[in-house]
Structure 1
């Protein structure tokens, strides 16, 4: 049954997404899945912070204070002198004094006094001057690579400011004193001296010239600091940890949104109302080899997963009797469909069922190479009626008479020109003929979302099994496959999820995992006869095959 989704393709019932989980659970899944990335970023930023703390140049700061004492604007003796005078806004007086510190002349005086090679602009970059609010104090903060240099630089700017202002004031006083002396000399003798008389003004200016600028003075000298202001180890490391968490979480959730690949089962359940028929563990040992893998090359956990698939397929028959056809496909290549088809067929055969494995992936045939078999007559010959099905079947030596193969001609070589033969009427009849000769017919199909060669076989098959691989299957391809099957009235039986975590040492398996550096020993005896070794996955399949035979045949 399907429904229409506006102008889009029909939507089958099995395509309807399940109810959404709470967002918190999705966040938790993302954190679990991307924990390695988060920890890697966290370690990287923390290490960078540690390196910064170790190699960064230590910076020390020292602070001194200048006291600003503006003079009254009503003093006639100081009229015309460049001193700081009282204003209606006291804040402006302090700001004026602050500007007197940060000028090039003061910086040059500091460089000469301390014997520094730095330019005035470089020295000014290392000094900060700030008026203290609600006071007549200006702070001078200097930084350097040692405590002593920082204190010397701060005190140097304070002293140089006072000296520069005093020098300018004395220059102005010299002119005023010379003028007043001439005036006093020309005055008549015996004239009464008052506070406003030239003689009194001259005495005041001469007294003023004997000292420093009275409007600005050093209030507090700088002392050498005991600790650097940067880097701060604890603060730097905390910042590195915080940055790592922010970047790691951002990368994790960003990749989760942008990652087009299948990562977890929930993504399947969000797309389809279909069961997961089997979960095949991650490749380990010989499973890491390229190409399809047979039971003899699988580790016990993976072999047990395919035995579970066999039992699940058998249970899906319910009360139905008679032979069954099972087509195995995937969304794209290299997802494990051929491995699944081979091992499902082998597991069914080892349980005592008569099985025919048909190689329908005529573009990239791989079954014969994986099993070490080849055939002159195969799928293409049967489709074009050059040979009968019975005479084209060969026995899989590794599994005895119960498993027979219909291989693509020239297995292991490109046979794409044969693909159109699968659209012939004989393709559907091939499944019926095979079911007359076996209890189960397993069909290795090409990935239908990439090529639709085997679509007629999918429509004819009793069961369609879709193989997906964690971190390999692209969700877009998987959605395209679902739409293709729904459009042509094909309802998949379920999924085989390849790439789950291998069970740990507590896993309930009949054979222990190989020691580090060892490989799973091949279970195929010489001569190709089905005599699996004791304790092997094949032997286990045979031992339980008698119990399952009644239910699977």
Structure 2
């Protein structure tokens, strides 16, 4: 048998590594599941964000916006008259328009606009409530002003356009104005010298007249073409803000939902547990009914006809299937943490195997917090620790619960016979408690005495189920795994977390025992889980109804 354990471990490890390479591709259904789980987060964002947006809009003062337009000349006529190449012809039109829009935002233009409108306001306040935008695919500059009054908004927008036109004319004509000023000064000097009839005087007069023409042409590079005739209300706009808030709420809600999902380390499905552990799923078992939990009852003993009991029959069937190749007899049952239903699952599985005609030994090797004694009346019986130190003999505890399986009485068969006149196989269950707890449980479970007891039980029974402490809290289970044929892991959905599963995978990989699979306890918390057997429960019960002695 030790050689068998070592042989199957290589194959089991290979299967585990192969499963580890599988990764679940995210599908639309996965995203919909996340949205369903976080529906209240999404719903709150969808409701609250639009309400906040509408409420904020209703508390805003009324504001009106008026706009005026200025035509921008893209060619310098003065340069063309003088035969000078215009550098603006090679400039990108969008860049030129944006330059003019930025030019309209200088404080000098704002100051001039306020003077033309006859209003006493600060330049910063004006720039804060105004804008200059170059229109797309057009040589037009839109100058807008926002104010609490419609008439003031229109007046300021029109004054803004005039102020920019004047400022642009000043910039464009400044060199020519300076040249004209110098020409007039020279003409005055020549007139004082009585040189009005000289050719130099006449030439200078011609140059001055030419400068006047250029100045007149350059003042048309930015011309107001559309005054502000009306003003539009820009706030409050509750309908628009409500729609924008709704869209923003959807985005925020979905974002928060997926953020919470990413930060949530809880496990949501058996597929995720299977992927992280690299083990096959043996069965999903629900939480026992409250009435059984209160009195430490087992569904396989107290309610064997219930739908919950059928899940343990399914677990028994799947376990028998995975055991069919190497026939492991000693099976260790562990979990990542406590409170995952390990002991309850082990006890119910032992009863289910016994009801199927197997000779089963149920051993409580959780020497830190033994629990099996709550399910079975073990008072007065020696425990495992007493057997290990030879204070009691194994034969002293071999008083089994007997289970007689039969096909039913519909064909006249007696409870001890099947319909063909053959006696049905009788199963039995022996429960061995922990006994007095040793001071050093971690060292005790690894002693040769425990190995001797396990080997003796392996020879006497078809299946030996061993309840052990959680694998991530103490090292007892991994230490014992070297002395057993196989192990089964119990995971509870609302207890285990993804990092714990990753750590449990690492711990299990170091175990030499064959990994048969995992049992998902508390399966009703899994997304989309439901159990129920609407028919046939009584028939199953009839075939497995046991006389318990």
**Residue matched to 2:145:** 142
Question: Does the C-alpha gap of structure 1 residues 363 and 344 become closer, same or farther in structure 2, counting only changes over 3 Å?
Answer: same
Question: Does the C-alpha gap of structure 1 residues 292 and 418 become closer, same or farther in structure 2, counting only changes over 3 Å?
Answer: farther
**Residue matched to 2:532:** 507
Q: Residues 50-61 of structure 1: matches in 2 within 5 Å?
A: 50-51=50-51, 53-54=53-54, 55-56=56-57, 61=65
Distance 1:96 1:464 in 2: 77
User: Among residues 471, 475, 487, which one is paired with 2:501 in the alignment?
Assistant: 475
Distance 1:13 1:350 in 2: 34
Structure 1 residue 350 displacement after superposition: 5.5
Please say if 1:17 is aligned against 2:18: yes
Distance 1:390 1:60 in 2: 98
User: Among residues 382, 387, 394, which one is paired with 1:389 in the alignment?
Assistant: 394
What is the SS of the residue equivalent to 2:514? Answer: coil
Structure 1 residue 464 displacement after superposition: 2.9
Is the CA contact (8 Å cut-off) linking 1:345 and 1:357 kept in structure 2? Answer: yes
Please say if 1:465 is aligned against 2:488: yes
User: Among residues 511, 518, 524, which one is paired with 1:495 in the alignment?
Assistant: 518
Structure 1 residue 362 displacement after superposition: 0.6
Distance 2:221 2:158 in 1: 18
Q: Please give the TM-score of this superposition, normalised by the length of structure 1.
A: 0.63
Question: Does the C-alpha gap of structure 1 residues 506 and 133 become closer, same or farther in structure 2, counting only changes over 3 Å?
Answer: closer
**Residue matched to 1:264:** 270
Is the CA contact (8 Å cut-off) linking 1:375 and 1:407 kept in structure 2? Answer: no
Q: Residues 265-284 of structure 1: matches in 2 within 5 Å?
A: 265=271, 268=274, 272=278, 275-281=280-286, 283=287
Distance 2:368 2:243 in 1: 62
Distance 1:46 1:467 in 2: 40
**Residue matched to 2:343:** 338
Q: For CA contacts below 8 A with separation 6 or more, give which structure has more relative contact order.
A: 2
Please say if 1:408 is aligned against 2:434: yes
**How big is each residue's C-alpha offset from its partner over 1:464-505, in whole Å with a ceiling of 9 and x where there is no partner?**
3222333615332332243222xx3x2133322224347878
Question: Does the C-alpha gap of structure 1 residues 510 and 459 become closer, same or farther in structure 2, counting only changes over 3 Å?
Answer: farther
Structure 1 residue 123 displacement after superposition: 2.2
Q: Please give the TM-score of this superposition, normalised by the length of structure 2.
A: 0.64
User: Among residues 155, 161, 164, which one is paired with 2:158 in the alignment?
Assistant: 155
**Residue matched to 1:79:** none
**Residue matched to 2:130:** 127
Is the CA contact (8 Å cut-off) linking 2:71 and 2:224 kept in structure 1? Answer: yes
Q: Residues 60-71 of structure 1: matches in 2 within 5 Å?
A: 61-67=65-71
**Residue matched to 1:525:** none
User: Among residues 423, 444, 458, which one is paired with 2:467 in the alignment?
Assistant: 444
Question: Does the C-alpha gap of structure 1 residues 109 and 277 become closer, same or farther in structure 2, counting only changes over 3 Å?
Answer: same
Is the CA contact (8 Å cut-off) linking 2:274 and 2:280 kept in structure 1? Answer: no
Question: Does the C-alpha gap of structure 1 residues 548 and 160 become closer, same or farther in structure 2, counting only changes over 3 Å?
Answer: farther
Structure 1 residue 220 displacement after superposition: 0.6
Structure 1 residue 383 displacement after superposition: 1.5
**How big is each residue's C-alpha offset from its partner over 1:29-64, in whole Å with a ceiling of 9 and x where there is no partner?**
643553435656654554465246422558765421
Distance 2:193 2:52 in 1: 75
Structure 1 residue 27 displacement after superposition: 3.4
Q: Can you give the 5+ residue segments of structure 2 that lack an aligned partner in the other structure?
A: 402-426
Q: Can you give the 5+ residue segments of structure 1 that lack an aligned partner in the other structure?
A: 76-85, 512-536
**How big is each residue's C-alpha offset from its partner over 1:95-153, in whole Å with a ceiling of 9 and x where there is no partner?**
88756643324434555777878642232133232456887643213345787665454
Q: Residues 209-358 of structure 1: matches in 2 within 5 Å?
A: 217-224=223-230, 226=232, 228=234, 234=243, 237-238=246-247, 240-241=249-250, 263-265=269-271, 268=274, 272=278, 275-281=280-286, 283=287, 286=290, 294-295=298-299, 300-313=306-319, 324-349=329-354, 355-358=360-363
What is the SS of the residue equivalent to 1:138? Answer: strand
Distance 1:299 1:154 in 2: 86
RMSD: 5.9
**How big is each residue's C-alpha offset from its partner over 1:404-459, in whole Å with a ceiling of 9 and x where there is no partner?**
5322346xxx7562342222222133235446776653321223455443556545
**Residue matched to 2:368:** 363
Question: Does the C-alpha gap of structure 1 residues 153 and 20 become closer, same or farther in structure 2, counting only changes over 3 Å?
Answer: farther
How many residue pairs get matched? 486
